A and B are shown apart, each in its own frame.
Chain A
Amino acid sequence: MKLYHITDNRATAVAIKDIPVVEYVDLYNDLKERMNDVRYHVGHYFAVEIEQGLKFYMILLDDKTSEVLVTSFVPDYYAEGLASLTAIHPQFHPFEREMHELYGIPFDSHPWLKPLRFSHDRRDKSSTMDSYPFYTIEGDELHEVNVGPIHAGIIEPGAFRFICDGEQVLHLEIALGYQHRGVEGEIVRNQNRLRQTLIAESIAGDTAVGHATAYAEVVEKLAGKQASKNLNLERMIAIELERIAMHLADTGALATDIGFQLYQVACEALRTVTINTSQAWCGNRFGKSVIRPCGSNHPLTAEKIAMIRKNIADVRRRYNEVRDDILEDKTLLARFDQCGLVPKSEMIRIGGVGQAARASGLLRDLRATHPWGYYTEIKHEAILKHECDVMSRLATRMDEVLQSADYIEKALAEYTPGENIPAPDYEAPLAAESLSFSLVEGWRGEICHVALTDDKGNIAKYKIKDPSLHNWLGLAIAVRSEGISDFPINNKSFNLSYCGHDL
């Protein structure tokens, strides 16, 4: 029996009738075996309300063949519950928790069926942030330290509960949901596609370009439009600029957290150059307004190309110096080396993605495994580090900055200014009764957007996955048995998004 519809990240939208509707038991048994293979990981897994109850969709990614497996199932309305996949493969935990929270589906033997983000439309309204069931350990020697949900500084809210033995962390539990805005629902309520783009840009403020690209890809696949070469190059430049800016910011933030002023100010200065480059291009330092579906408002001109090329070469040269110094600085290495280990095996189990996974030697890079746009041309080679610690995550960032600078230079050389790029099209008709997904490697990792259209071609369901959804658990694992005072550097080495998780 056919369990999956096979497609890839470049194909157009899939008609819903082409997606097999399977029995959950068969799917469960298949996944039990299949997910043992590291080449597979879950892209998205969600439920949609239909007349007969709920219909579940699952998107699996095959990193080896670049295939994307799409399947669905409709459990019996009177079914008691579903056997939990999390119990075997923990990477399913956020998805099952979300469905449990939204629809009250009991997942049998799910080890951690706690609220995920306290959605406004959650099933059990009595479950609130104040009654979050924190894990506790009894013992005279132990103490709990609660940090947040409101933190010092200007970061977003989220509650961290440490269980410590003296200075050593035994367990960290992270409770999020304070930033929930109902983004997915908002996109469906606003059928105006310009508004939808603006909402997509605001899913996570630090990944404006990444999420906007994911949205634009979803819409273009539904509209059956292929972006031109120039447009793809522009999008690549924008997303790599964002990657450089954020990796620079995080290098600086890591230096700040160990009280190292020199690298902090050096990186802050470089980040300013990078984001000002974005501003000179499109008028926004975070790259908002660059990405629009089916076109662009800011085609590059010869002057802008020269400006970007000059700035990026400058950032690249200066950052390379910083990088050489960092790699040789003993006081810095003493803090970052062997701190916050997340072994590759753990990364696989929790389904870690993006830069954090690559720092643990796990190849999760959509640019290499599921290329889209111009990445299909450049044969991206992901940067892998195998030390699994904070230094490794920093080293991945540092190398990726230089790699991204290369890509930007390459893309600028390929770009032919003056060649007509169409203005954005917000009216193009969308395929009806279809499922469209996009997979985009933002600076933090894998972004997956999924849209389902109704019989009139309107977006009826929109699902978003930010890489933070997977990686927060990685942070909790990293700080186990570390000193509690090393939590901040671990946190910065992941630099996860609160609002991307809470949506």
Chain B
Amino acid sequence: MVVVALSITGVINRTRALLAGRKGIRFFQHIYNVRLQLQKGAVYSTTTTALFRIAPAVYLGGALLAFLFIPVADLEPMLSFHGDIILVAYLLALSRVAIILAALDTGSSFEGMGAAREALYGALVEPALMMGLATLALFCGYSSFADIFSMAQELDMNLTIVLLMVAYVFVVIMIIEAGRVPVDDPKTHLELTMIHEVMCLDYSGVDMAFIHIAGWLKNAIFAVIAANAIAVAVSFHWWFAVPMAIIITGVSIGVVESLRARNKLSRNITYILTIVAMSALVLLTGFLLIQNIEI
């Protein structure tokens, strides 16, 4: 799990570099960068309040706690109880709220715009997340991640295709949550076009490192859920799920970022709603298959 969190950014960078015909930066450069930031102090704008300082901790805490509930194929998660999938979804929502409030707290017009966009996209993507999780829960009648994926081996092979679609939904959710192309562009320097990055403009040093780490953890959560869904269908072992999580997300993001343009900002809503519709479809198909209803 930790390996997944630390590697995805490296794979993305390496894929991008390869496709651009460059040698690329060190695989673990992002970790060195964060280590450097952790050693630094933080600078705070005079217009901010305590809220601004607490937010990165809440953001990281939420992501870290959610992270602990996620099993990797046949490895048990650290924490688990009945109904924890709801908790994970709302822990992620909590960390989002924290960072949005902090962005509004700075009083900068850029960050206000970013917060508005993040809130809108967050609200839109949440149904997709919930329905994706609901599909998984439906298959095995459990509502904790550990139970879902430990029961999963007994599934009918008919459901394989549905599981692969669930995996796809989670990869796209990850792209949206992580602010990658085509929804957002983490490489841009243009504040007016940013979504996630613009909210972190006023952060520096330790706080920035917290935000980066939380970002990796969130990526890993979605990547591992997607990989688990595939692993259920193919080979339910952690040594299959871990490389799968890194490769499907890292490579797909790297390729997408090299080979297509960003969406027009107003088109993002359509893009996200497509994923919501897709996950609704997956849920419905899953439901029909479970009930053995012939169409």
The chain A residues found within 8 Å of chain B, CB to CB, are 143-147, 152-153, 167, 255, 257-262, 265, 329, 331-332, 334-335, 339, 483-488
Contacts and interface: CB of A to CB of B under 8 A. Distances in A.
A167 B266 contact: yes
Which 5 residue pairs across A and B have the least CB separation, nearest first? A259-B185, A258-B261, A331-B261, A485-B265, A152-B189
Interface string B2-30: 00000000000000100111100000000
Contacts of B260: 260, 331
A261 B258 CA distance: 5
A144 B107 CA distance: 12
A495 to B, nearest CB: 14
A335 B262 contact: yes
A483 B257 CA distance: 22
Contact of A257 (B191, B193, B258): B193
B261 A332 contact: yes
A191 to B, nearest CB: 43
B267 A257 contact: no
B157 to A, nearest CB: 36
B50 interface: no
A335 B19 contact: no
A153 to B, nearest CB: 5
A257 B110 contact: no
9 contacts: A167-B266, A257-B190, A258-B261, A259-B181, A259-B257, A261-B16, A329-B261, A331-B263, A334-B261
Given A261-B20, A262-B19, A144 B264 contact: no
A142 to B, nearest CB: 12
Contacts of A334: 261, 263-264, 267
Given A483-B264, A487-B192, A259 B20 contact: no
Contacts of A483: 264-266
Nearest to B188: A259
B262 A265 contact: no
Contact of B264 (A143, A147, A262, A335): A335
A329 B261 CA distance: 9
Nearest to A254: B261
B113 interface: yes
Q: Which of A153, A262, A332, A484 counts the most chain B CB atoms within 10 A?
A: A262
A167 B261 CA distance: 20
Contacts of A488: 190, 192-193
Contact of A143 (B109, B259, B266): B109
Nearest to B21: A265
Contacts of A260: 260-262
A485 B197 CA distance: 14
B185 A485 contact: no
A140 to B, nearest CB: 15
A129 B188 CA distance: 29
Interface in B239-295: 257-267
A144 B110 CA distance: 10
Contacts of A484: 113, 192
Contacts of B191: 147, 152
A329 B20 CA distance: 17
A259 B262 contact: yes
Which of B188, B191, B262 lies at the interface centre, i.e. has the most chain A CB atoms within 10 A of its CB?
B262
Nearest to B120: A167
B62 interface: no
A261 B265 contact: no
B182 interface: yes
Contacts of A259: 181-182, 185, 187-188, 257, 261-262
A181 B27 CA distance: 45
A147 B192 contact: yes
A174 B12 CA distance: 38
A145 B262 contact: no
A331 B109 contact: no
Contacts of B19: 261-262
A265 B22 CA distance: 9
A329 B258 CA distance: 13
A283 B65 CA distance: 60
Nearest to A269: B21
Contact of B193 (A143, A261, A339, A485): A485
A423 to B, nearest CB: 43
Given A167-B266, A259-B188, A488-B193, 17 more contacts: A145-B110, A145-B113, A145-B192, A258-B262, A259-B182, A259-B257, A259-B261, A261-B19, A262-B259, A265-B21, A331-B261, A334-B261, A335-B262, A335-B263, A339-B264, A483-B264, A484-B192
Interface string B187-230: 11111110000000000000000000000000000000000000
A265 B20 contact: yes
Contacts of A339: 264
Contacts of B267: 334
Q: Which of A167, A262, A485 has the most CB of B within 10 A?
A: A485
A261 B257 contact: yes
Nearest to A143: B109
B109 A486 contact: no
Contacts of B189: 152-153
A331 B261 CA distance: 5
A487 B190 CA distance: 9
Given A262-B20, A485-B192, A488-B192, A146 B259 contact: no
A152 B264 contact: no
Contacts of A153: 189
Nearest to B20: A265
A481 B70 CA distance: 45
Contact of B258 (A258, A262, A335, A486): A262
Contacts of B188: 257, 259
Contacts of A257: 188, 190, 193
Contacts of A258: 261-262
Given A153-B189, A265-B20, A331-B261, A144 B109 contact: yes
A145 B185 contact: no
Contacts of A486: 264-265
A285 to B, nearest CB: 21
Most chain B CB within a 10 A radius of its CB, from A265, A329, A487: A265
